[in-house]
Structure 1
Amino acid sequence: MDESYDVIVLGTGLTECILSGLLSVDGKKVLHIDKQDHYGGESASVALSQLYQKFKQNPIPKDQMEAKFGRDRDWSVDLIPKFLMADGGLTKILVHTDVTRYIDFKQVAGSYVYNKGKIYKVPSNEMEAISSPLMGIFEKRRMKRFMEWISEYQEDDVKTHQGLDLDKNTMDEVYYKFGLGTSTKDFIGHSMALWTNDDYLQEPARPTFERILLYVQSVARYGKSPYLYPLYGLGELPQGFARLSAIYGGTYMLNTPVEKVLYDDDGKFQGVVTKEGTAKAPLVIADPTYFPEKCKSTGQKVIRAICILNHPVPNTSNADSLQIIIPQSQVGRKNDIYVAVMSDSHNVASKGFYLAIVSTIIETDTPHVELEPAFKLLGPIEERFMGIAEIFEPKESGSTDNVFLSRSYDSSSHFESMTDDVKDIYFRVTGHPLVLKKRPQEEEEEE
């Protein structure tokens, strides 16, 4: 097989699969290779037996495991848990490319925030906000004024700005203007804007304003919570985009390690050699594991603990799925701790079981101890699997050698940063921004 392509993509992580799908739709001839025998790369969903093999020194025999946890194939556990924002970037790409036809989504029942030792539901509408024990009566009024400012703000109508400039005023100054207290700032910044630490307070307010607006619009879509999650787990997402690419003529090769990368005399990418032969293309898109020498560590590591429960998380009204955010200030940390919970109602666990996946950025030499505040909220844990991942990013943009690399998946609880990476790589590869058009049939449905 000695063939030429427009693009070669290495690794079937979500970022890579979205890009191969988008570029195939654009009419590019794409070859997609993965050294592993399954889709998803770092962001795959795996069966329970695979989880034992990956994380435990001496896994228990399969029959014992199934006696305790039900059929192996009923489990589909995300290695990197994230939710989709109902009105977020990834959802828009799914709709634009029509990948939604291959995947069923279910709404996540609720979002909770940790405050002074307890968890509280993040209010998803005005009624919940008024009755929420998170704030006193006067603070609620101030919060209401703040939220009205967010929803009524119009760029070209200075009257709606209330004297604030989103690009000059810091977020701290905005909070001060509305007289919001520390715990409310915590709540807005971490449960709605979903910042993982407090650096945003001293930065211009616009990104936070946009994040809160995204949260509010996402909640408005379906009520209850702003999050969606695919049935059968996140591993469905890369496969959906892989199918899209294949429909548009993309070629896929799993279980195919790259034996050699070819460059021309100027050091530009030329192609790859595999057991199938040589494939040529003027550029390559890949995850960091294919070009470790062209990546650098961000200095951050994420710890993730996958916990199996045989009961719903206490104090969540028996929700079948939820997110808990533990703001860093509540537990004396620099970074938030996230808990993503799914259950058999999402076809990712055996009947009666729940998956709670805890993640945060490591700050000490005893990272497992850092997750204790989250473990305490979960009640009895039947089994837990822990892994640590270093976060890598490309050293260069790819313009000199035509090697375009994605970033590792961060500790955030949703896909917005990953979607930004997709848009960024798409722009670097094509030279023009990714424009998502609404599909005509979707507009008809909305009328």
Structure 2
Amino acid sequence: MEALSESTWDVVICGTGLQQSMLALALSRSGKKILHVDPNKYYGGPDAALSLQELEGWAAAHSSSDEQQAGQAVFSNSRIIRNDGAGKTKKKLSFPRAYSLALSPQIIYTRSELLAQLVSSKAFSQVEFQAVGSFYIFRPASTAAAAAAEEEEEEGEEVGSEEGQQEQGQRQRQKPSLARIPSTREDVFSTTAIPSRSKRHLMKFLKFVIDYEAEEQSGTWKPNADEPLAEFLRSQFKLNEELIGYILALTLRLDAPNVSTREGLAVIRRHLTSMGMFGPGFAAVYPKWGGMGEIAQVACRAQAVGGGVYVLGTGVRGTKVPNAAKYEEVEVELSSDTVVKTRLLVQGAGDNMATDGQKMSRLVAIVSSPLDSLFETVVEGAPLPVVAVVAFTQGSVPSPEGSSFEQPILTTVHSSDTGECPAGQSVIYLSTLSCPGASEALDSALSSLLEATAEEGEGAECLFKVVYEQLVSSGTPIDEGRTFTFPPSPAAIAYEDDVLSQVRRAWEKAMGASTKDEEVEYMVFADREAIGDDDVGS
């Protein structure tokens, strides 16, 4: 460790979360002296994927419910519940390293700038991307029954007869279900979950949103740009509450009811235009073996090939600017008691960082079923999907008291093909904004999802659960001269490209005047010579 203090580093990066790792990738061909440390003994930081054994230690370290301490840490209030071997079928978990559970799983739209940067930096070939399949909306039994009645009424079926009354009784006893959210013209026409009259309204909106930025369309939405998207859909497109729920679900935002028209139209368009970009039947991808943590590792290893020095299990204890007038370097005291000098210190959100305190509640569950019905291809020639998205709209999840949970819950279901669990099992990730009753609502949503996907005579059992809270933010980095701190990630299950602008800002700060050189392009690299695939980011 003493050798680290013998010279001045151009950049010291603390943490191997996705933002710090993408910065490391951006600097990997810069020729600068980079020291990259992480207080954890694994890569990925808040984006890491952990085995069950690693998760046990992680949960113990982040179990605090103390308001002051929990308010400063990215993760808090974590606890693990094991149920393996306790169900009717006595099914059990496999060995700990058979699992790789992501702390902050996010899907990546095919039109994401993140994918474009991985391609231009030549890092993409080191990540195996898999297709995200269908997007579903959860329908309680009462909603499914009402929709069926409306469809029959449109078709002119008699519901007042004895036969009709029997059918109504059957509908009332229906179990909850999942309805696929249509994302293309063909989807809208083929779905049976939406009555015919509603399809026409939905088609009108989908056609509009594809070209909503065109000059002739601007008069429709710009006067309402800052009002909630839901109000815009009611007033301009006459959509009913169920269709509004479908569209808000596609924003993949935990604050969907409050999403503005400006924000909502942009993310819906991203979804629709991503469909089919890399192949039929999918609009998003997911990195195999560890989600965003896999990308972080690839980025860090590219920096290591470029000459960067990596030290895991070592963090930053404190900083000192010895000469504030010249402000040429900062002294960084590492947790190993070593003091290093650097021209720039970059770190991520963590202890002692002031934040707005907004949190999201998460539940990760391992279940005893492959849930095959969620991973079917619906378009000829499409790849087999490994992730399905399920949205619970506000009010669709019952609370233990019999009322409804008035916040959206977003869920991604991952098959064993992601490498996150053994064959025959699935991993379910559920998220909602933290509030009183959020933990109970996530449990209720999990139970409802398993009921909706249960095969005849056999349902999935939950073998393992971990629940925790995560600090989130829509804030900006803290730039204090020679130190630069990334804020926590936004509350979203789809990667937000706005986060990458913060990485570029840190890169420009590290590169200084050289960014004006025409030959210096951000994240654009030629192929490395004499280095094979196994040497870069593997």
Corresponding residue number in structure 2 for 1:327: 393
| TM-score, normalization by structure 2 | 0.71
Corresponding residue number in structure 1 for 2:531: none
Is 316-325 or 1-10 further displaced after alignment? 316-325
Distance 1:394 1:124, change over 3 A: closer
- Correspondence list, 1:14-29, <5 A: 14-29=18-33
The separation in 2 between residues aligned to 1:194 and 1:104, in whole angstroms, is 23
Equivalent residue of 1:295, what SS? Answer: coil
**Structure 1 contact 288–392 (Cα < 8 Å) conserved:** no
Corresponding residue number in structure 2 for 1:184: 243
Corresponding residue number in structure 2 for 1:63: none
Corresponding residue number in structure 2 for 1:386: 466
Distance 1:88 1:371, change over 3 A: farther
**Structure 1 contact 85–415 (Cα < 8 Å) conserved:** yes
Corresponding residue number in structure 2 for 1:165: 222
- 1:285 and 2:346 aligned: yes
The separation in 2 between residues aligned to 1:374 and 1:382, in whole angstroms, is 9
Corresponding residue number in structure 2 for 1:402: 482
Corresponding residue number in structure 2 for 1:216: 272
**Structure 2 contact 322–331 (Cα < 8 Å) conserved:** no
Distance 1:177 1:103, change over 3 A: same
Give the superposition deviation at 1:380: 3.2
Corresponding residue number in structure 1 for 2:55: 51
- Correspondence list, 1:290-301, <5 A: 292-296=351-355, 298-301=356-359
- 1:5 and 2:9 aligned: yes
Give the superposition deviation at 1:322: 0.9
Structure 2: runs of 5+ lacking an equivalent: 61-78, 83-90, 144-175, 377-384, 398-403, 451-458, 510-514, 528-538
Distance 1:396 1:357, change over 3 A: closer
The separation in 2 between residues aligned to 1:363 and 1:200, in whole angstroms, is 16
Distance 1:180 1:420, change over 3 A: same
- 1:38 and 2:42 aligned: yes
TM-superposition CA deviations, 1:175-215 (whole Å, max 9, x none): 52222222212211222x223224545x3x33222211110
**Structure 2 contact 23–506 (Cα < 8 Å) conserved:** no
Corresponding residue number in structure 2 for 1:248: 306
**Structure 1 contact 46–77 (Cα < 8 Å) conserved:** yes
Give the superposition deviation at 1:351: 1.8
Structure 1: runs of 5+ lacking an equivalent: 61-66, 442-447
Corresponding residue number in structure 1 for 2:69: none
Equivalent residue of 1:288, what SS? Answer: coil
Corresponding residue number in structure 1 for 2:196: 137
- 1:359 and 2:416 aligned: no
The separation in 2 between residues aligned to 1:369 and 1:177, in whole angstroms, is 33
The separation in 2 between residues aligned to 1:154 and 1:259, in whole angstroms, is 48
The separation in 2 between residues aligned to 1:140 and 1:200, in whole angstroms, is 25
- 1:206 and 2:262 aligned: yes
Corresponding pairs, count: 427
**Structure 1 contact 149–161 (Cα < 8 Å) conserved:** no
Equivalent residue of 2:137, what SS? Answer: strand
TM-superposition CA deviations, 1:394-436 (whole Å, max 9, x none): 99843334322222244421111xx422312432562689986
The separation in 2 between residues aligned to 1:397 and 1:135, in whole angstroms, is 44
Distance 1:271 1:394, change over 3 A: farther
Equivalent residue of 2:266, what SS? Answer: helix
Is 260-269 or 306-315 further displaced after alignment? 260-269
TM-superposition CA deviations, 1:361-410 (whole Å, max 9, x none): 12215623443123321253332322322415599843334322222244
**Structure 1 contact 273–279 (Cα < 8 Å) conserved:** yes
Give the superposition deviation at 1:161: 4.3
The separation in 1 between residues aligned to 2:58 and 2:221, in whole angstroms, is 51
- Correspondence list, 1:301-340, <5 A: 301-313=359-371, 316=374, 320-331=386-397, 332-340=404-412
Give the superposition deviation at 1:69: 2.8
Corresponding residue number in structure 2 for 1:349: 421
Corresponding residue number in structure 1 for 2:133: 109
**Structure 1 contact 33–252 (Cα < 8 Å) conserved:** yes
Equivalent residue of 2:352, what SS? Answer: helix
The separation in 2 between residues aligned to 1:58 and 1:79, in whole angstroms, is 13
**Structure 2 contact 409–432 (Cα < 8 Å) conserved:** yes
Is 22-31 or 319-328 further displaced after alignment? 22-31
The separation in 2 between residues aligned to 1:361 and 1:126, in whole angstroms, is 32
Distance 1:323 1:397, change over 3 A: closer
- 1:257 and 2:339 aligned: no
The separation in 2 between residues aligned to 1:395 and 1:342, in whole angstroms, is 30
Equivalent residue of 1:108, what SS? Answer: strand
Give the superposition deviation at 1:17: 0.5
Amino acid at match of 2:298: G
**Structure 1 contact 312–320 (Cα < 8 Å) conserved:** no
Q: CA RMSD in A?
A: 3.4
Which structure has the larger Rg over C-alpha atoms?
Answer: 2
Corresponding residue number in structure 1 for 2:381: none
